[in-house]
Every structure is written in structure tokens, then in C-alpha cells.
Structure 1
Amino acid sequence: MSAPTPSVPADAGILDPRTGEHVTSVYRIAEADPDRIAVIEAGGRQVTFGQLADAAHGYARGLRELGLETGDCIVLLAPNSIEFLEVYYAAMEIGLYVAPANWHLTGPEVAYILENSGSTVFIADTRFADVATVAAGEAGFDPARCYAIGEVPGFRPLPELTVPAAGEDPLPSSRTLGGPMLYTSGTTGRPKGVRRPLTGASPDQVTVPNYYFFAGFDIQAPDNVHICGSPLYHTAVLNFVTISLNLGQAVVLMDKWTPEEMLRLIDAHGVTQSHMVPTQFSRLLELPEDVRAKYDVSSLRTIVHGAAPCPKHVKQAMLDWWGPVLTEYYAGTEGGGCTITGEEWLRKPGSVGRPWKTTTLKILDDDGNELPTGEIGNVYLQMHGSKFEYHQDKEKTAKTYVGELFTMGDIGYVDEDGYLFLCDRKNDMIISGGVNIYPAEIESEMTRHEAVRDAAVFGIPHKDWGEEVKAVIELAEGYPESDELKAHILEDLSGRLAKFKMPRSIDVVDELPRQANGKLMKRTLKDPYWADAK
């Protein structure tokens, strides 16, 4: 007999005083309690659920008038702001994909996302005007379909996208749930858009997986207040903000994260939950004791963290300060994951937890065979009822799967109690300050310089960020090593890569170690740097 299909509990969300029904989603909450506070920006600007939904409906009608249909995509280049969320919810209620672009990218990198995603509308904030104009130009975008939050040369003001309702019904036509399309870099160096099939579900009800995702952290109650201190173009960050709103929770948006400002906002707004990365913990711990003592953080219930390994001493110090409110998870854009609470971590230090109820976890060998408890192998997950694909990359998608299980390229083991411990990353991904950086793209760009015959890029230890980007190069004949040449190579690279991808330093070797088949033996280069840190 098959297990019953889970459903969202009848008491989820907020109570509609008109009907006595509990409702979820921004749109239903806006009808039931339009004056309920939805979003508060750090500077004090705020909107209610009614205002947020009204703006989303207007933009949604405008997107429909432009001819966008279910399954089409838009690209959004904007900081954490009310406008970001208004546009996002507009797309979500008419079945569109939204690709939030990393605003550290260069113009050509954003142009690639515009082209690869097949987007037909581009919305950018005035803060990124230079990048936006280059991206739109390189992608050959129709200026009539480019909209600006503020002012961007050649772009139409965002309010022009709004189309008033025809009659009393404010809802746009053909409403169906859309989805985010977030870009995660691949080992080939080009970003890959993770695009899930649209479900055809109603936008007026929080999805079952989203509800139980929050319930797994015990943060599903509508009286929670979420604070967002990381960019909304990150998968987990966007998920936490939008699910919070869909459950009726207020969201405090930070445009630029600083440790004391976060403490101030927690105190001022009675924040109960957040999603953070370990680097933020380190910055908070650097604050003097008298500064920490100025702010009341007793409202905190659950701080979820992930995206990068958290040093044990940092996590212990945060638990000592904030109490056992830290809950760690291991997951990716692709879906599925594990969780460990603060209390569990104190019993299983170093673990990233046990799998979610919606996730199957297995450790497989290189032939796809399941390994026994305690044996190290490849970490594979399955998110029940969901399967993803890398947009326009069937080969990468196929390589990621073994049956219904997929891997994010990590190796580890599961102990006798079902807790996952990660040992290493099978691929060469660098994680710096919670941001994933892929070396192949950087290596490819470096070898475009006439002085660089060959290049290897990898992560080396950094006390604050976990890892920093290191480049080791082989110079072309006729180019002697010098500080001036290294500076010129980096300057040349800076025009093509976002700042966070840039190598912090360059070392030169006579010849990079490659096998006869051309494979770079990167471990030979990396090990000495990591040995010094042990």
C-alpha cells in the first residue's frame, strides 16, 4: 500500500476573518488581511501584503500585454528591494520563469544569461545601469522590452509596465504558478540555469514541498519575522524570503549586510528567523562585546545556515552567544537536502545532518553501487516528486543522475544514526564567503592573455572566507615573470569576470603538471597550499 500524499495542513497560513479559512500565498493573504505588513526595508520603507499584491497584479497584466505566455522567462537584475519582490510575484502568478541575475556579474556575463534563458523582458535597477546597458546591447535586446527600476539609459521606467485592471477584478488572466530559474555554474565554466517543469498549480496556495521545507525547520508559523541579509539571486535566500511571505510572515530586507546593522534590525523588528552563511557568523563574532550587548536578540528562534562549511569553533561560539537556535542544512539549487539542529550538532559535531522527509540520501561508489554505513563515497540525493534539468545541457543533466538520484559532486559518509558527514568536494569548486566559484571559466579567460600559455585555478585557505581564488600559470615563451606582468594579466581579466571570481594572487611555474591525456593534476598544485594551513 502506498503512503498517503501529504498535503498542507488546514491551519497553515493566516486566518481570513471573512471566511474563517486559513490562507497562504501573498495573493490570498492580500485579500484576507491587506494591511498586514509584508516587507520592511532596512531604511524604513515598507509595504503591506495588499500593496505588494496590487503592484504584482499590475506588472503581471503588463507582461501579458507584452505577449508573454506560460513558460516564458524574464531576467531581473536588482538589489534586495520591494521592487524585486513585486516583479517576482508578478511573474509567479502568470506562469513565468524568473532568472535573477547575480549583480556582481559583468555586462557580457549578464548578456549570456539573457540569451541562454531565452528571456524576452529584462528588468534592471539603476544601480547596475552600466552592466545592464552593456548586457542588453550585447544580447540584442529590444529597448521596448527593457524596464528600469529608477533610471537606466535606453530603458523604460518600470511603472510603464503596469497595466490597470479592466473592471473590478484585479487579477491578471490565465493565472498559473511560475518558477525561479537560478543559474549555477558548471565545471565547463558557463553558468547553467536550473529549470524545473512548471506544475500547473495555483499561485494562490503555498506548495506542499515549500510548506514542509519550512516545517522541517519549525519556522512555518505566520508570526515569524524573517530577516534577509544576503542577495536574493541566491537560491536559498530567495526561497526563504518568498516562502516566508507566502506563509504570512513579515520580511526585513537588508540591502547591504553589516553585522551591527543586522543586530539592530533583529532588535527593532523582533526578528525570529533567518538564513545565513558562516562568514556572517565570523563577522558578528568580531564585534566588541559592548557592541553585541547593546542589542536584544532574544526574539530569535531559528537561524538556518548553509552554503559553505562552518568552522567548528565559529559554530560553537555562535551557539554560546545565541543559544541552540542554529540549524544547519546541506542542499543545492538542484533540490533535496539534510538538516541538523543546534542540539543535534553538539552531539554530532561536524555533521550536516539527516535527510529531509522529502529526500532520499545514498552514498554510492563510482559504479553507482550503494556503499555501507561509514564508508566514504559519492553523495547522492533524490528530492521526492521533483526532478530538475540543466537548461540546454542534457549531457550535464545525464551525468548528474544515477537513476532518480543526483549528485552535487561531494564525497562523504553516513554514520550508524543516519547523519551525513562531508569529507571533500569531488569537483574543484571553490567556496569563498558562501559563494560558489568554478575555476574552469577563470582558467579559460586567463589563457586569452598572450602571456599565459596554461593556467590552473583552485581554492586555497582564507581565515575569513574559507577559501580564496588562487591562480598558477605557465608563461608563454618570451614573457619573463614579473610583478608588472601579473598585474597586467589581472587587469586584463577584470574586464571579463566579476570581482568575486578574480584570483587574489598569481604564482608562476615552469610547466603545469598534466597527464598524457591532457588532464591537469590539480591536486599536485593544491596540496602544498593546504598543507601549510594544517
Structure 2
Amino acid sequence: MHPITHAEARPDHPAIIMSGSGETLTYGEMDAYANRFAQLLRARGLRRGDHFGVLLENSIHYLPIVWGSQRAGTMMVPVSTRLTAPEICYILKDAGVKLLITSIYFADRIDAIRAHCPDMELLILGGEAMEDYEAALAGQSAEPIADQAPGQYMLYSSGTTGSPKGVRPAPPESEDIDAPIPLVGLAVMGAGMPADGSMVYLSPAPLYHAAPLGWCTTAHRLGGTVVVMEKFDPVHALETIERYRVTDSQWVPTHFVRMLKLKPEEREGYDLSSHQRALHAAAPCPVPIKREMIEWWGPIINEYYAGSEGIGMTLIKAEDWLERPGSVGKAIYGTIHVCGPEGEELPAGQDGLLYFENAMIPTYHNDPAKTAEAMHERGWMTLGDIGHLDEDGYLYLTDRKSHMIISGGVNIYPQEIENLLVTHDKVMDAAVIGAPCEDFGEKVVAVVQPMDMREAGDSLESELRDFLAPRLSSVKMPRLFDFRPELPREANGKLYKRELRDEYAKRAENA
């Protein structure tokens, strides 16, 4: 299945709708756009395997560009819109990008990008003269290029624990652009997505992330309509489900938290009856949060665990999760191995480093050391997560290996503390990190975003300590609470804990 087929069969069926503006592209229009973009890549000298970058806000242009690359056999490098100009240039240089597609929305960074990447060509939505993207695209034929081939994308890590690394996928198994891909089978057989073109899929997250790219393109392969939110807002998300009769969606736990923190009249003010399947991933979801979401939306909330590396996936449906709260399910792609410090496999119930066994193993671009670090001697690959399997093969995540705090020789996993904090009525968000400590090596620090910053201070700290005390051992209790109006969180839900750790390390140096 491929959008080309749907463009031939149902050219007037909506392929993309922008939720805020209502701007729409039909399958016929998206097909013509993708062909023009493939022609544009060839006209600018990009051949199969060449790299180009995309630095765009969520817009009607993003997914047609993806599909154009999928026809040109090129390697698309999506770039986070959150990054500074030096961070953007690091990725562009590291990836060997020849052409960057961007927009005037990033005018504050474009001059610096030009200066740092003088040999790279830019095409800009809203640009002028030779950099006018729309004019360059309009000048191309809407006919397919002669040498169509499946493209790929190289996603860069969020840089939450160091410099971002490009995940270079294994080569495609087929040169046929409409060859089957695993995610389509997983979507239909695992997640239950319809294959008859009836799906209306809501994407509330930035399109440069792995999950939105993967699931939006899968919805298009299945002939569905993708409704893209320009930016996530909890009330607008509910309004969008009602307005467009959304059937399927994909979320992260922070979306759930923000929707649950809405006033009752806001939560209950929309008709969500069309909503049949809601996927979520990206981070472990606190058990009370997910339980409350299932009580609100019904047993339609399915969870999966995967990564940008594409080496494996687990899935658990709501009814199974209610029997095994906290699990992220059984493997439906790849085989899971739980290993100890020496690489030995561990028995059920014991936490260890998680590896996936898979024939399709990627590498980290320009970083053989990181690739080697992620590999088990038996050829399995890890995403860096700690967890365990139960006797029935259900996976439970504990935390990221890199996030572990060692205080007085005790291993402390921050996720447990964060999951408790975000369930407090006065907490919007929380990050728990290890900060330097002369006595214990590291001390536990809770950085909290209150619902109302006016409540930040000693009284709220005391209330949170009282809230945590019956639920945490004393060694896990934060030694310090720090309140701030916002945390450095990616729009896909990932915390930039590196920024917080660096901040507290500098404080310790200057103390």
C-alpha cells in the first residue's frame, strides 16, 4: 500500500488537514506535490543516497516533502525546531546535508546557518530570489521521476545526554517504492488500525520526531486522513477530535498529564465518541495517569515501546494493561533480552539492560564507538533502557541507564519519583536528577513546575515531601526541591536532563 495507489483510486480524499487553519491537501494534490519535490531534488543535484535537511514547523508542506524523498531515494534529515543555530549546524554538517528546506519562521537562525554552512544550499518557504522554495517547487513537473526509489530518514537523538547522534537505518530491503514495510503490518495486526481508508488520524506532536513521522506515513499508506496540530494545546486537541471525527491518535504521557489537569468543564465539553484507538509511547507513563485516562476515554488506549533506531517494538492494549499496570507489553517486532553488567541474560523479574535482537540493525552516523557501545557481543542492540520481563514475557521499564543516580552507593531511578510527583494536584511537570554532593557523590534533586508559580516555595515543598514520604524510601527522597515555570522538555515529551545536570554541576563548581 502506498499513497500513489490512493491518489489514483481516491484523488479527492483528504490526505492532510491542518487542525488550526483547516488547510487541506487531497491525495491527488499530495501526489503531485511529492512528484514535484522529487523532481526538485534531482534538479538540485541530489541523487539516491544523498542527504538533505528539513527544518520546518508543522505545516501542510512537511509530509509531502517526506513522500517526495521517498520517491527520490534520498536520505531526509529532520531537524528539531527547538535547536539553536549552532546545534542545527552541528547536525547539518555531521549528516553531510547538501540542501536544507526551511521557512521564514526560522529567520532568527537562517543567517547563522548560512554563515556556518556556506557550501550548503538553502530553499526557504517565504524566501526570495534563488532561495524561494515555493517558486522552485512550482517550476517542476508533476510527473514521476524516471528513477524512483524508496527513500529513508536519518533521525538525530534529542541530545538529552550529550551531542545528538544520527541513527543511520539499515539499507531498504527492496528497491520498490511501494514494497511493504513492517510498521504497516504492526499498525493493522497489532494496533488494530483500519486498512480501508476510513481512518482519521490525529498527530499532536512535531513532525520531525520518529513517532509522528512513522505513524503519519503509515496512516497515509493505509489511505487515511492525517490531521496535524500546528502546536499541541490540550483544549484544542479535544476540540480537534470532535471537529474532525478523529478515529486514531498518538500521544506522549505529558499530553495526558496536561489534558487531565484541565478543569472538569473543559475535559467534559467535547464529543469524543468517534475516537476508537489512542496510541502512546516516548516515555513510561505513570500508572495513576494512565488509569485515569482509561477511565475517561475508555479502554481504547494502547501503549508501545520502541525507539528511533527501529530495532524492536512492544505493544500492550488497555485491557491487558489493566491486568498488568505499568507494563509496556510483549514484543511484536524483534526479540527482547534482559542482560546484566557482564552481558549475561537475566531471569524473569530481574532488572537489567534491555536489548533487541533483530536482523535489521542500524548504526550511529560517524560514531562507530557509540554503535559498538550499544551492541551486545551476540549482535543485539540496546536503546539504553533498564527494565525486566515477567514470567509471561511482558516488559516493564524502570528508567534510562544514563539517568540513574548513585547516591551513597545506592542506585536510584528518577522515573519512579517523577511519576509520583506529576500525580500531585499542584504539580504540572517534574524532573528528577542527580547533582554533585560531597558526602554521597550525588544527591537527588527534584525540579518542579507547579500548576501555579505563585504557590512555589517552602509550603509547597513541605506538602510534596509529605506526599512522597509514605511512597518512597528515605534514600530516594529529594534532598532539594527547585521550582520553575517551565522545564526543558522536548515537544515529544523527552526531558533535556543534560541541561539540568549541567546547571547543577556548574553550581557545585562555583559554590
* TM-score in terms of structure 1 length: 0.76
Instruction: Give secondary structure in 2 for the equivalent of 1:355.
Output: strand
Structure-1 separation of matches of 2:93 and 2:16:
32
Q: Deviations over 1:295-348 (max 9, x none)?
A: 111111111111111111111111001001111111111121211111111100
Q: Match for 1:127: what amino acid?
A: Y
Equivalent residue for 2:53?
75
Equivalent residue for 1:30?
7
CA distance 1:120–1:200, shift in 2 (3 Å): farther
Q: 1:465 aligns with which of 429, 451, 454?
A: 429
Q: Deviations over 1:59-107 (max 9, x none)?
A: 1111111111111111000011111112111111110011110000000
Q: Quote how far apart the aligned CAs of 1:141 are.
A: 3.4
Counterparts of residues 189-204 of structure 1 (less than 5 Å): 189-199=162-172, 201-202=174-175, 204=177
* Counterpart check, 1:39 vs 2:21: no
CA distance 1:377–1:188, shift in 2 (3 Å): closer
Q: Match for 1:467: what amino acid?
A: A
Counterparts of residues 111-260 of structure 1 (less than 5 Å): 111-142=89-120, 145-151=121-127, 155-165=131-141, 170-185=143-158, 189-199=162-172, 201-202=174-175, 204-205=177-178, 207-215=180-188, 216-221=190-195, 222-260=197-235
Equivalent residue for 1:433?
none
Equivalent residue for 1:18?
none
Equivalent residue for 1:405?
380
Q: Quote how far apart the aligned CAs of 1:363 are.
A: 0.8
Q: Quote how far apart the aligned CAs of 1:373 are.
A: 1.7
Structure-2 separation of matches of 1:193 and 1:429:
24
Equivalent residue for 1:346?
322
Q: Quote how far apart the aligned CAs of 1:241 are.
A: 0.7
Structure-1 separation of matches of 2:173 and 2:149:
6
Instruction: Give secondary structure in 2 for the equivalent of 1:57.
Output: helix
Q: Deviations over 1:410-449 (max 9, x none)?
A: 222111111111223211389xxxxxxxxxxxxxxxxxxx
Q: Quote how far apart the aligned CAs of 1:368 are.
A: 1.8
CA distance 1:291–1:397, shift in 2 (3 Å): same
Question: Is the 2:403–2:433 Cα contact (8 Å) retained in structure 1?
Answer: no
Question: Is the 1:28–1:204 Cα contact (8 Å) retained in structure 2?
Answer: no
Question: Is the 2:361–2:381 Cα contact (8 Å) retained in structure 1?
Answer: no
Question: Is the 1:133–1:153 Cα contact (8 Å) retained in structure 2?
Answer: no
Give the unaligned 5+ runs of structure 1.
1-23, 431-457, 475-493, 513-534
Q: Deviations over 1:449-474 (max 9, x none)?
A: xxxxxxxxx99846333426786699
Q: Deviations over 1:222-271 (max 9, x none)?
A: 21111011001111111111111111010001011111111111011111
Structure-2 separation of matches of 1:180 and 1:424:
27
CA distance 1:200–1:73, shift in 2 (3 Å): farther
Q: Match for 1:126: what amino acid?
A: I
Question: Is the 1:39–1:250 Cα contact (8 Å) retained in structure 2?
Answer: yes
Equivalent residue for 1:487?
none
Larger CA deviation: 390-399 vs 127-136: 127-136
Q: Match for 1:25: what amino acid?
A: H
Structure-2 separation of matches of 1:377 and 1:226:
36
Instruction: Give secondary structure in 1 for the equivalent of 2:72.
Output: coil
Question: Is the 1:470–1:503 Cα contact (8 Å) retained in structure 2?
Answer: no
CA distance 1:298–1:96, shift in 2 (3 Å): same
CA distance 1:340–1:510, shift in 2 (3 Å): closer
Structure-1 separation of matches of 2:336 and 2:2:
30
Q: Match for 1:413: what amino acid?
A: H
Question: Is the 1:302–1:326 Cα contact (8 Å) retained in structure 2?
Answer: yes
Question: Is the 2:161–2:402 Cα contact (8 Å) retained in structure 1?
Answer: no
Q: Quote how far apart the aligned CAs of 1:26 are.
A: 1.4
Q: Deviations over 1:346-372 (max 9, x none)?
A: 10011111111x210111122222222
Q: 1:298 aligns with which of 273, 278, 282?
A: 273
* Counterpart check, 1:49 vs 2:27: yes
* TM-score in terms of structure 2 length: 0.79
CA distance 1:473–1:48, shift in 2 (3 Å): farther
Instruction: Give secondary structure in 1 for the equivalent of 2:360.
Output: coil
Question: Is the 1:129–1:153 Cα contact (8 Å) retained in structure 2?
Answer: no
Q: Quote how far apart the aligned CAs of 1:507 are.
A: 7.5
Percent of aligned pairs sharing the same letter: 35
